Amino acid sequence: MAGIAESPPSWSRGTTHRLVTYLSGCVLFSVGAYLFIHSELGTDPLDVFALGLLRHVPLTVGIAQGIIAAICILVWAAWYRRRPVLMPFVTFFFCGSLIDLLLFLEPARFLPVPAFATMLLATMLCAYASSLIIMSGVGIRAMDLVAIAMVEKWGWQFWVAKMSMEGILLLTGYLMGGPVGIGTVCFLVVVDTLIQPFMWMNERVLRMPNLGMPNLGMPTLQKVS
């Protein structure tokens, strides 16, 4: 999928469109992560870590995810010898806080579908939401930021980079007592491999510009700060 041409001119690159794409991605990702938790079939690796950490430290999901975001941002900044960027941290904290709110309100109790169907819905939401956040070029999630750097620096496939980092989070969270199940495996295998196909679909079918990874194989990092 590398070498995709410049985005078609029919989609404005203005601030409003970028923010709508970004905020839509954040909301959809938070809903998907919440549904993973609600399904009780295991949650995504980041929340495995966050919920495992909460068993030992009196924090919230938002703060726990913020800690991971800070670490990823510092790694990225050191790698490129640049100042740390703020928006990826905002994304982590914003999504984590939305998850906290959804866990408090528990809207999924009105969703008359079995747990397995809830997990599949969560998988698709998280994958598609991740593609939107990256394509917006605004506040790319800190883990995706490092994954894009691994693509550029080491020539890895994006899904390999993502899966490697999330595998570390998964193992650490599991050792701390975080919830692991078939949903966790589904997220690790399916979500990480669907992000790039969804970006391709958005660009080719919906004519959306990819401002985070414009060529999908030759990412532009200058637009993420």
177-192 tens-digit pLDDT = 988 888 888 888 888 8
One-character DSSP codes across the chain: -TTPPPPPTTS--SHHHHHHHHHHHHHHHHHHHHHHHHHTS---HHHHHHHHHHTTS---HHHHHHHHHHHHHHHHHHHHT-PPPSHHHHHHHHHHHHHHHHHHH-GGGG--S-HHHHHHHHHHHHHHHHHHHHHHTSS--HHHHHHHHHHHHH---HHHHHHHHHHHHHHHHHHTT---SHHHHHIIIIIHHHHHHHHHHHHHTS----SSSTTSSS--GGG--
| Phi-psi category of residue 139: left, alpha or beta, with phi > 0 → left and psi -120 to 50 → alpha | left
43-92 tens-digit pLDDT = 778 888 988 998 998 888 778 877 888 888 899 999 989 988 888 878 87
> Looking at the predicted structure, is the pLDDT value of residue 200 above 60?
yes
149-174 tens-digit pLDDT = 898 889 888 888 989 999 999 999 99
Distance CA 224, CA 62 (A): 21
Among 49, 119, 127, 134, smallest CA distance to 87 is for 134
Across the range 96-110, mean pLDDT stands at 89
Is residue 44 within 8 Å of 169, Cβ to Cβ? no
> Looking at the predicted structure, is the pLDDT value of residue 13 above 50?
yes
User: What does pTM read for this prediction?
Assistant: 0.77
Distance CA 126, CA 223 (A): 22
Query: How high is the pLDDT of residue 126?
Result: 92
